[in-house]
Amino acid sequence: MSKVKNKVERPNFVSTTNACKLCTPLGAAMAFRGVEGSIPFLHGSQGCATYMRRYVISHFREPVDIASSALGEKAAVYGGGANLKKGILNVMKKYEPEMIGVATTCLTETIGDDVPMILHEFHKEFGDLKLPKIVRVSTASYNGTHTDGWHGAVCSMVEQLCTEKAEADGSVNILPNMISCEDVRELKDICDHFGVKSTILPDISETLDGPALEDYVKIPSGGTPIADIKNMSAASGTIEFGRCLGPRTGGVALEKNFAVKNHRIGIPMGLRETDVLFDTLEDITGTPTPRRYELERGRLIDAYVDGHKYVFGKRAVVYGEEDLVTGLCAFLSEIGVDVILAGTGARGRGMAESIAAVTDGVASKMPIIREGVDFQDIADEAGELKPDLMIGHSKGYKYAKAWNIPLIRVGFPIHDRFGGQRILHLGYGGALSMFDKIVNAVLEKKQTDSDIGYGYL
């Protein structure tokens, strides 16, 4: 197999109905949120920031403060430099951040604000104040999706904060892609058990899933310490998750600037992709995989065996971020679920090749793979294919409901269920919990649809 089959005769709609992507600065804002003492700042009009806050809050159920330069009409016409500077000063006054992550929006990209220049002026004008680190990223939404914003922000942070070669310290950098808070916690645990010091960038595990506290904190605790980002040049290697990444990433920058070897692997979802992660960690650290993960791996295979009949041959539609979809395909192909359609809103990310690679040897056939789709496209195509399952974020609910099939919620955003930030997707543990969920969804459907309603299944 492994021949990439791509159905071409697809109606080429010009409009978008129910997009399967979000806008670029949102991804950047989320990534900036994963740095200690940092606050995201959107250079644009107020609406974008407010909308994104609302959106992110409904998934994480945490306060998410995203500042904005709140451009009005005049600024939109004559340039937003003054607002940007004033906005940064106000954020400094109120939040006392260690870092401000400035992302542009469609508006400021279009009016052509030269953010590096404005920030340069800002540093000159206010150099006598104690200034936070200011990291900037260019994120016009007409150029990509939220994942581009995320990766762009990560790369910018690496490039703009890690500027000197630090003395090697045997640590490992992990650039984990857009994963959940629980996933980050899992990665930290894994590194701890390996006994290796890790820098995970960004680390949203605490900043977007914080504890109840005595007081309202302006900026939540946690996040990747800036000192650690500066020190990423000291690592023995970088592992960046994502088979669909572009050429400009944090991992690539670290390798280019400081010869920190970059290991680009898929998001570790399912058995085989998780094996790759553990192999890579063994490689970098020279330490064998700790027994607890060997055991977990064993339990995963055991579960695969116990549950295989329930899911074999089931037909799934999978959608979402390009790398998440790839990871899901890797996992689903292992358990005998046929992915009939894999869709993402992103374009030009080589998802077809990536999926071919991760399903090689186990998938019975390649799914139809679509980049740049919206839910209208997905529905048009998948409706005829009679899926048994949908796997993706909340936005597919309407379609799952229409087709009367279970929706397994993964990824972002989860607006219609509780605990989206605590879904574990990664590692053997993540595969195990996704497997349980899928088997149970199939069982539940069978039970509900049955007249008899067997009590033993």
Partner 1 sequence: MTNAILEERKDQIHRTGQGDIDIACNRESLAGAVSQRACVFCGSRVVLYPIADALHLVHGPIGCAVYTWDIRGALSSGPELHRQSFSTDLQEVDVIFGGEKKLEAALDELIDRHSPKAAFVYSTCIVGIIGDDLEAVCRQMSEKKGIPVLPVMSEGFKGSKREGYLAACTAMFKLVGTEDVSDVSPVSVNILGDFNLAGEIWIIREYFRRMGVEVVANITGDGRVRDVGRSHGAALNLVQCSGATLDLAKMMEEKYGKPFIRVSYLGIEDMADSLYQVADFFKDIDPNIVKRTEELVKEELSKLMPEVARYRKDLEGKKVAMYVGGSFKAFSLLKAFRHLGMKVVMVGSQTGTKEDYAELERISDPGTILVDDANPLELSAFIKEKDVDLFVGGVKERPIAYKLGVGFCDHNHERKEALEGFEGMLNFAREVHSSVMSPVWSFVPRRANKINTIEKEAGNE
Residues of the shown chain interacting with ligand SF4 in the complex, contacts defined by CB under 6 A:
23, 25, 44-45, 47-48, 51, 105-107, 141
CB of 189 to ligand SF4, least distance (A): 35
- Dihedral angle sign, alpha carbons of residues 325, 326, 329, 334: negative
Task: Write out the E strands in 53-210.
Answer: 67-68, 99-104, 133-137, 172-175, 198-200
Residue 415 in tokens: 């607006």
Binding at 292: pick from ligand SF4, partner 1, none (beta carbon under 5-8 Å per type): none
| Residues 97, 66: Cα–Cα separation, whole Å | 12
Binding at 78: pick from partner 1, ligand SF4, none (beta carbon under 5-8 Å per type): none
User: Interacting stretch for partner 1, rule CB under 8 A, among 83-91, 243-251, 381-389, 427-435?
Assistant: 83-91
- Under a CB-based contact definition with an 8 Å cutoff, are residues 97 and 220 in contact? no
Q: What is the DSSP string of 22-75?
A: --HHHHHHHHHHTBTTEEEEEES-HHHHHHHHHHHHHHH-S----EE----HHH
Contacts with partner 1: how many residues (CB under 8 A)?
A: 76
Binding at 128: pick from partner 1, ligand SF4, none (beta carbon under 5-8 Å per type): none
Residue 343 interacting with partner 1 (CB under 8 A): no
| Residues 29, 146: Cα–Cα separation, whole Å | 9
Residue 319 interacting with partner 1 (CB under 8 A): no
CB of 95 to partner 1, least distance (A): 8
Q: What is the DSSP string of 257-292?
A: HH-PPEEEE----HHHHHHHHHHHHHHHH--PPPHH
Output 149 or 176, the one with its CB closest to ligand SF4. 149
CB of 320 to partner 1, least distance (A): 14
Output 112 or 453, the one with its CB closest to ligand SF4. 112
Residue 82 in tokens: 């003054």
Which parts of 89-128 interact with partner 1 (CB under 8 A)?
A: 89-91, 93-95, 105-107, 110-111
CB of 289 to ligand SF4, least distance (A): 42
| Residues 39, 36: Cα–Cα separation, whole Å | 9
Output 57 or 362, the one with its CB closest to ligand SF4. 57
Output 41 or 435, the one with its CB closest to partner 1. 41
Output 88 or 277, the one with its CB closest to partner 1. 88
Q: If phi over 0 gives left and psi between -120 and 50 gives alpha, with beta otherwise, what is residue 30?
A: alpha
Residue 141 interacting with partner 1 (CB under 8 A): yes
Binding mask 172-211 for partner 1 (x = CB under 8 A): --------------------------------------x-
Binding at 130: pick from ligand SF4, partner 1, none (beta carbon under 5-8 Å per type): none
Binding partner 1 (rule: CB under 8 A), the pick from 6, 17, 221, 447 is: 17
Which parts of 321-340 interact with partner 1 (CB under 8 A)?
A: none
Q: What is the DSSP string of 182-205?
A: HHHHHHHHHHHHHT--EEESS--T
CA max distance for the chain: 77
Binding partner 1 (rule: CB under 8 A), the pick from 28, 31, 71, 175 is: 71
CB of 141 to ligand SF4, least distance (A): 3
CB of 225 to partner 1, least distance (A): 23
CB of 13 to ligand SF4, least distance (A): 19
Radius of gyration of the chain from Cα atoms? 22
Residue 418 interacting with partner 1 (CB under 8 A): no
Residue 73 interacting with partner 1 (CB under 8 A): yes
CB of 139 to ligand SF4, least distance (A): 7
| Residue 420 φ/ψ, nearest 5 degrees | -55, -35
Which parts of 383-402 interact with partner 1 (CB under 8 A)?
A: 395, 398
| Residues 185, 408: Cα–Cα separation, whole Å | 22
Binding at 212: pick from partner 1, ligand SF4, none (beta carbon under 5-8 Å per type): partner 1
CB of 399 to partner 1, least distance (A): 12
Residue 406 in tokens: 């279970």
Cβ contacts of 159-163, under 8 Å, gap ≥ 24: 159/250, 159/253, 159/257, 160/133, 160/135, 160/136, 161/133, 161/135, 161/226, 161/229, 161/230, 162/229, 162/230, 162/231, 162/232, 162/233, 162/253, 162/254, 162/257, 162/258, 163/230
Residue 135 in tokens: 């990291």
Output 141 or 231, the one with its CB closest to ligand SF4. 141
